[in-house]
C-alpha cells in the first residue's frame, strides 16, 4: 500500500468540503472580508484550486489553471503566492468551483498513483513536512484543512449556516 493513500483519502474529503463550504455563497458574499487583514473567499478558493492544478502538473498531468497569474506572483519567495489585491479581477465563485471539481478527480488519481521514486523526488523548497514530493503532498492535506476552516468561519461571518460535512 502506498504511503500516500491516507492523505489521498483526506484530499478526497476536502474536495467535498470545499463544495460544501461554498454552497449558497454569492459572489458579493465571497468578496467580504472579516477585516482588512484577512483574505476573502474568492482568494482562498482560487488559491486552493491553483495549488491542486500545480500539484497535478508536478505529478505529470499538465492542466494549466486559467487564473494562475491572479494567484501567483513569481517575484515573491516560494511558493510565490500573490497577496490579496482588490484591483485584480477575481473569477466568479461558480467558475472556481467548476475548476475545482474538474481538477479534483484528476489530482487525487494522480496523487494516488505516484511511484515511490516520484514521492521521494526532492522539491525546490521545503515545507514543514519535508523536502520531498511526499512531504509536500502531506503538507497540502493540512494546508487545505486550514483554509477550508477559514472559509467556514467566513461563511458564518456572511450570515450563512454552518458548513455541512455530509
Q: Mean pLDDT across the stretch 19-43?
A: 97
Per-residue pLDDT, averaged over 157-165, amounts to: 97
- pLDDT at residue 1 greater than cutoff 60: no
pTM as predicted: 0.96
H-assigned helices in 23-92? 27-30, 41-58, 68-71
What gap in Å lies between CA 133 and CA 8, rounded to an integer? 13
CA angle, 62 then 66 then 70, to 5°: 125
Average pLDDT over residues 4-23: 96
Query: What percent of the chain clears pLDDT 90, i.e. is strictly above it?
Result: 93
Measuring CA to CA, which residue among 39, 96, 101, 44 is closest to residue 66? 96
Q: Looking at 76-132, list the stretches that DSSP marks H as alpha helix, in order from N- to C-terminal side.
A: 93-112, 116-119
| DSSP, res 122 | E
Cα 51 from Cα 66, distance rounded (Å)? 12
Within 10 angstroms of residue 153's Cβ, the number of other Cβ atoms is 12
Q: What is the pLDDT of residue 19?
A: 98
The domains of the chain, with CATH numbers, are: 5-157 (1.20.120.450)
Tell me the pLDDT of the chain averaged across its residues.
96
Rounded to whole angstroms, how far apart are CA atoms 21 and 153? 9
Q: What is the pLDDT of residues 41-88, one digit of tens each?
A: 999 999 999 999 999 999 999 999 999 999 999 999 988 999 999 999
CA angle (72 as vertex; 86, 97 as ends), nearest 5? 75
Amino acid at each position: 500500500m502506498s504511503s500516500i493513500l491516507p492523505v489521498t483519502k483526506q484530499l478526497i474529503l476536502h474536495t467535498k468540503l470545499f463544495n460544501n463550504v461554498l454552497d449558497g455563497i454569492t459572489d458579493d458574499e465571497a468578496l467580504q472580508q472579516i477585516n482588512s487583514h484577512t483574505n476573502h473567499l474568492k482568494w482562498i478558493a482560487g488559491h486552493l484550486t491553483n495549488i491542486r492544478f500545480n500539484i497535478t502538473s508536478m505529478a505529470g498531468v499538465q492542466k494549466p489553471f486559467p487564473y494562475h497569474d491572479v494567484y501567483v506572483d513569481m517575484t515573491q519567495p516560494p511558493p510565490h503566492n500573490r497577496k490579496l489585491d482588490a484591483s485584480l479581477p477575481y473569477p466568479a465563485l461558480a467558475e472556481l468551483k467548476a475548476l475545482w471539481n474538474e481538477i479534483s478527480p484528476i489530482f487525487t488519481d494522480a496523487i494516488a498513483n505516484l511511484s515511490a521514486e516520484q514521492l521521494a523526488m526532492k522539491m525546490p523548497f521545503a515545507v514543514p513536512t519535508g523536502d520531498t514530493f511526499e512531504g509536500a503532498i502531506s503538507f497540502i492535506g493540512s494546508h487545505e484543512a486550514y483554509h477550508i476552516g477559514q472559509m467556514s468561519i467566513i461563511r458564518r461571518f456572511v450570515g450563512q449556516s454552518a458548513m455541512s460535512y455530509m
